[in-house]
Structure 1
């Protein structure tokens, strides 16, 4: 429905609305059963008083063009003066449950959507999002690159690129991979709209319904969701402070034949742990022995705050069993939505075919900007700067926990990545703490979504890269106060539960 207001005209505004809607009904532009916008909503969009719209709707009803009923709103009638009843409405809202596919009904995006919403709330200190700090991004450098591209009228930056990404960027990514110990060619590299797209594409092109996928437990919860959505059976292998328990994994391999292994061996999300070198070697050897593919998700490998990151699984693989994923979103800006895959050429070809259906190619301008960012040498210096900044933020959160934490709260000090992983005191659940923390205007991610088996309610994940130093200290103080309130309440209930109640005789 289209309505425009001419405030210079002598015709009253409500008459202008009435005449335009009337004309659209009589011409057939508005079909019988069409629901007119609510008076308040239309008034706000037109910048008029609600009474003005109400008067226009009254005139339409007086001519028998529309009718209204509680719960249905104002609806166009099929014929003038027709009585409005359920049977007379020729148009109804679709039966959504019957329309959406089984695939669509398998996924739930509310966790990610809610976390992103929290990150944008000014009144909440959020440790929930896995987002790079906006303060550490190389905004001036990227602005200069973008301005240069535009001033030179480089129209290529705004045109389509090959689905795999343009060649010079793929070659630049090869240079990054060489520094990580992986000697690949550009035709083994493909650009993605974030590494999370790589997980989704892998699920689509590798997994058939009923196939078994092995993941670490805990692990990145959108990966669990992606695999389950395509009908996979997902089994979790527990981790310890040395990464995935390879001994348990080998026992599983002897009993089953999984199709895929998904792992984050370096600064794992959510736990921040690293898979030790011997386990990395064993994992690749087992993949060869049992002929099972590995997805190595390396979103945080560059963010190493002490010493050096351990060798990649991909650097140990000569036969194409490891599919490597990484991203620029965690180390530059999340809004770039640019990641990459390194894999056997046959895998890249299948990924490209699936991606072409999904979004044709990743953002062209982002690709050009990142290509210049890498080849200019600015990317390497940026990583050095970011690591120094995030190391300080990690230490600030660790020290704040040391100062404010209640007794029996346990937490780690990861060598890199984004997260501190906490085990709550006995009797304190993340599901209760999340509500109590909300009262204190602080947010985190509970542990349960990261597990495949419904566990994890005694863990929470805290991000230290997004909040400012001031907010880190204040937010941890608030969070620990919320924990202590739950502990005090629990102790209070236990005291009364232990009291003997004597009835009055």
Structure 2
């Protein structure tokens, strides 16, 4: 860029063009919400633990429309939060315990901020790297290492976990590898999570940031997801949480955020589980 007076562009963070920030729309939405007592009162007081019910209902409809699951997504599966990072911290505090949970298995390369959140939650020195292959997470490697970890835990008398393991992944348009995990690999991962009592935590924050698949299309972006989420695979595969031997809880949770499509500083997100998730998380 010799001779240019323009400064360097910092690619470390996801800074959008300021012209893309929806200032006018957010201002209008805030004015509308604060003008209606039935909305503003609930919003400014504590409100329901899982989040504002009409918001959860609309979010459920939007997610159902985008992901097209075999069964509609219900608002009872969704818990509103202050962003994907807060979601991850809350999930760890409710569904894991550093005393009993063996390891955090992270698809490598991984999102660097997630490492800090796991370490702050008591898993310092317990993060384990899992490589990718051409379909996503290397299942054979993961199973082999899970077996080793189980043998070590049993030798130490560690047999009373909440979830014995945590698996963290960005399965669609992964940050930073850009890999999208295949449907077959997602199904395999759910099966392995059930076998080893693992909770799969997926950051599904990039799913809406996709190019149109058909070059002849006039649409600015696709209106349907490129791949089913792992939480939806867990919900239906072999009967989901209602299958024989299941305890009513699933083995996957989806972490979502509006910040990627509205503004990186707009800290609004949601977490969605296979079943009973929003209720259990709200009790924390």
TM-score range, shorter chain: 0.7 to 0.9
Name the structure with the higher helix share: 1
The answer (yes or no) to whether the contact 1:241–1:274 under 8 Å persists in 2 is no
Corresponding residue for residue 167 of structure 1: 53
Q: Cα 1:230–1:139, aligned 2, differ >3 Å: closer, same or farther? A: closer
CA distance in 2, matches of 1:248, 1:286: 12
Corresponding residue for residue 181 of structure 2: 275
CA distance in 1, matches of 2:95, 2:274: 14
RCO greater where, 1 or 2, for CA within 8 Å and sep 6 or more? 2
Corresponding residue for residue 18 of structure 2: 134
Q: Which runs of 5+ in 1 are unaligned?
A: 1-121, 355-505
The answer (yes or no) to whether the contact 2:76–2:279 under 8 Å persists in 1 is no
Partner SS, residue 48 of structure 2: coil
Are positions 1:187 and 2:76 aligned together?
Answer: yes
Partner SS, residue 127 of structure 2: strand
Are positions 1:229 and 2:146 aligned together?
Answer: no
Are positions 1:289 and 2:198 aligned together?
Answer: no
Q: Cα 1:187–1:132, aligned 2, differ >3 Å: closer, same or farther? A: farther
Corresponding residue for residue 208 of structure 2: 302
Corresponding residue for residue 277 of structure 2: 347
Corresponding residue for residue 247 of structure 2: none
Partner SS, residue 336 of structure 1: coil
CA distance in 2, matches of 1:332, 1:178: 20
Deviation digits for residues 60-110 of structure 1 (CA, Å, limit 9, x no counterpart): xxxxxxxxxxxxxxxxxxxxxxxxxxxxxxxxxxxxxxxxxxxxxxxxxxx
Deviation digits for residues 390-438 of structure 1 (CA, Å, limit 9, x no counterpart): xxxxxxxxxxxxxxxxxxxxxxxxxxxxxxxxxxxxxxxxxxxxxxxxx
Corresponding residue for residue 247 of structure 1: 140
Q: Which of 177, 202, 206 does residue 91 from structure 2 map onto?
A: 202
Deviation digits for residues 35-77 of structure 1 (CA, Å, limit 9, x no counterpart): xxxxxxxxxxxxxxxxxxxxxxxxxxxxxxxxxxxxxxxxxxx
CA distance in 1, matches of 2:25, 2:209: 20
CA distance in 1, matches of 2:18, 2:45: 28
CA distance in 1, matches of 2:258, 2:40: 23
CA distance in 2, matches of 1:133, 1:325: 25
Q: Cα 1:316–1:207, aligned 2, differ >3 Å: closer, same or farther? A: same
Corresponding residue for residue 316 of structure 1: 233
CA distance in 1, matches of 2:88, 2:120: 12
The answer (yes or no) to whether the contact 1:184–1:342 under 8 Å persists in 2 is no
CA distance in 1, matches of 2:149, 2:137: 18
Structure 1 segment 319-338 matched on structure 2, within 5 A: 319=241, 320-338=250-268
Task: Name the TM-score, length of structure 1 as normaliser.
Answer: 0.43
Structure 1 segment 90-101 matched on structure 2, within 5 A: none
Corresponding residue for residue 125 of structure 1: 9
Deviation digits for residues 369-390 of structure 1 (CA, Å, limit 9, x no counterpart): xxxxxxxxxxxxxxxxxxxxxx
CA distance in 2, matches of 1:229, 1:138: 33
Partner SS, residue 265 of structure 2: helix
Two-structure CA RMSD over aligned residues (Å): 2.2
Deviation digits for residues 430-463 of structure 1 (CA, Å, limit 9, x no counterpart): xxxxxxxxxxxxxxxxxxxxxxxxxxxxxxxxxx
Q: CA deviation at 1:133?
A: 3.8
The answer (yes or no) to whether the contact 2:202–2:253 under 8 Å persists in 1 is yes
CA distance in 1, matches of 2:11, 2:278: 35
Partner SS, residue 349 of structure 1: helix
Are positions 1:215 and 2:106 aligned together?
Answer: yes
Q: CA deviation at 1:169?
A: 0.5
Aligned length: 233
Q: Cα 1:142–1:266, aligned 2, differ >3 Å: closer, same or farther? A: same
Corresponding residue for residue 246 of structure 2: none
Deviation digits for residues 10-58 of structure 1 (CA, Å, limit 9, x no counterpart): xxxxxxxxxxxxxxxxxxxxxxxxxxxxxxxxxxxxxxxxxxxxxxxxx
Q: Which moved more, 1:260-269 or 1:138-147?
A: 138-147
